[in-house]
Amino acid sequence: MSIEPARALAMVWFQRHRQRTALASLDDRLLADVGLSRETARGECRKPFWHA
């Protein structure tokens, strides 16, 4: 039995957590640069790491 699928899933979850943490730290100007509103960013950051 391989642990690779579980390891890959854990890596995806960790990446989501890091990306959402980084998104939460952006100011309104930077969010506008990437085409997101503050409300859209908040909604994304509120998702649990296991939700895409």
> Please, what is the end-to-end C-alpha distance for the chain in angstroms?
27
Cα gap 25→38, rounded to integer Å: 11
**More confident of the two residues 19 and 2:** 19
pTM of the model: 0.83
User: What is the per-residue pLDDT across 18-51, written as a single tens digit (0 to 9) for each?
Assistant: 999 999 999 999 999 999 999 999 999 999 999 9
Report the candidate in 36, 1, 2, 6 with the shortest Cα–Cα distance to residue 19: 36
